[in-house]
Structure 1
Amino acid sequence: MGTRWTIAVLAFIMALIKHTESIMCHRCYSAMGGCGDEVVWRMFPWRDCGPSNFCVKVVEEIPGEQPKYIRECEHILLQSTRHRLQMPNLRRHGYCTPARKNDPSNPLQLTNSNIKYCFCNEYNGCNTAPSQTVITMPLMMFSAVLTLVTKLL
């Protein structure tokens, strides 16, 4: 009975993962408590991002001040003219790239190194981690499934 129940639970989880249509991201600003370099996930649970392909973390580092963080869905940031003009065109999972600089008085300077856009789409809530942290969620899921499979055998 225990083995059948475990297989049913695994099948249900796999069905949920397969039918997920959109990514879910943390959505917060550094002015809110608990939304700094790392997110207090209990305060900012995942939110559905609808048509977004990526979760985005924006880090603005102004010399002499604390860094400012924005964690948001890609499509919501693109609704803002500021982010639409600054967001890098190359968007891939794990990329943290400087913002584009649209300065007509200095057309040779293409990037703004004070602002970074970090993109992810590997798992829900992936925009919680600082950019130096190794992503451990897939490893934890794999080890949990491996443990269940070894108990079945």
Structure 2
Amino acid sequence: MQAQIIPLTLLLLLAVFIQQGDAIWCYRCTSATPGCADHFNWRGIGYLGEQCPEPNDICVKVTERRGAQETITRDCLSALSFRTDIPADKYEGCRPAAVDWHLAHYVNHTIKEHDVKRDYFTNTTFCFCFLDHRCNGASSKSMALGLTMFLASVVAVMLH
């Protein structure tokens, strides 16, 4: 049994080190693009994603809701760096947006369409993933299921 575990462990470590230098590939689209809504269809958007500009980037799916209206943005985290509501914890999984109390504190105009306080949407959720290329195409439930299956397989290999 020990002879089988050592080559498998070496293979996993080799795979980790080979992909470490490459940037992750993420889907980059909004729900205004056909196929990029909640029921994701990569054939509908017509491409297999893009490589993120940063080497240690993270794929992100941002879901913003107000009543029945829902806007979904899939992108690399580095491309969303202008947003001040990104949660501090960027590990795998979904979490609500951070609240920036100082956003537009010194702006005083009445043009609602500018949304300088970023308060139009009542519910904003960020889903982060980086364990697989193009992982921001999945829903949050399937991302959690994939992570659970991966961890279960690693534990099963270690126990045998």
Question: Fold match, TM over 0.5?
Answer: yes
Is the contact made by 2:35 and 2:41 (CA closer than 8 Å) also made in structure 1? yes
- Of residues 125, 130, 137, the one that matches 1:128 is 137
What amino acid does structure 1 have at the position aligned with 2:64? Answer: E
Q: Which residue of 1 aligns with 2:18?
A: 19
Q: What value does the CA root-mean-square deviation take over the aligned residues?
A: 3.0
Q: Which residue of 1 aligns with 2:94?
A: 95
5+ long unaligned stretches in structure 1:
1-10, 106-110, 144-153
5+ long unaligned stretches in structure 2:
1-10, 107-118, 154-160
Is the contact made by 1:27 and 1:71 (CA closer than 8 Å) also made in structure 2? yes
Structure 1 residues 118 and 101: alpha-carbon distance in aligned structure 2, compared to 1, 3 A threshold: same
Give the alignment of 1:77-88 within 5 angstroms.
Answer: 77-78=80-81, 80=82, 83=83, 85-88=84-87
Matched, 1:53 2:57: yes
What amino acid does structure 2 have at the position aligned with 1:94? Answer: G
Q: If the length of structure 1 is used for normalisation, what is the TM-score?
A: 0.64
Is the contact made by 2:26 and 2:49 (CA closer than 8 Å) also made in structure 1? yes
For residue 136 of structure 2, give the secondary structure of its aligned residue in structure 1.
helix
What amino acid does structure 2 have at the position aligned with 1:35? Answer: C
Query: When the two structures are aligned, how many residues end up with a matched partner?
Result: 121
The percentage of aligned residue pairs carrying the same residue is: 27
Q: 2:149 and 2:87 mapped to 1: Cα distance?
A: 29
For residue 95 of structure 1, give the secondary structure of its aligned residue in structure 2.
strand
Q: 1:96 and 1:45 mapped to 2: Cα distance?
A: 26
Q: Which residue of 2 aligns with 1:149?
A: none
1:121 Cα deviation from its structure 2 partner:
0.6
Q: 1:71 and 1:129 mapped to 2: Cα distance?
A: 10
Q: 1:36 and 1:99 mapped to 2: Cα distance?
A: 23
Q: 1:118 and 1:125 mapped to 2: Cα distance?
A: 13
What amino acid does structure 2 have at the position aligned with 1:71? Answer: R
Q: If the length of structure 2 is used for normalisation, what is the TM-score?
A: 0.61
Matched, 1:64 2:68: yes
Is the contact made by 2:94 and 2:140 (CA closer than 8 Å) also made in structure 1? no
For residue 122 of structure 1, give the secondary structure of its aligned residue in structure 2.
coil
Structure 1 residues 62 and 44: alpha-carbon distance in aligned structure 2, compared to 1, 3 A threshold: farther
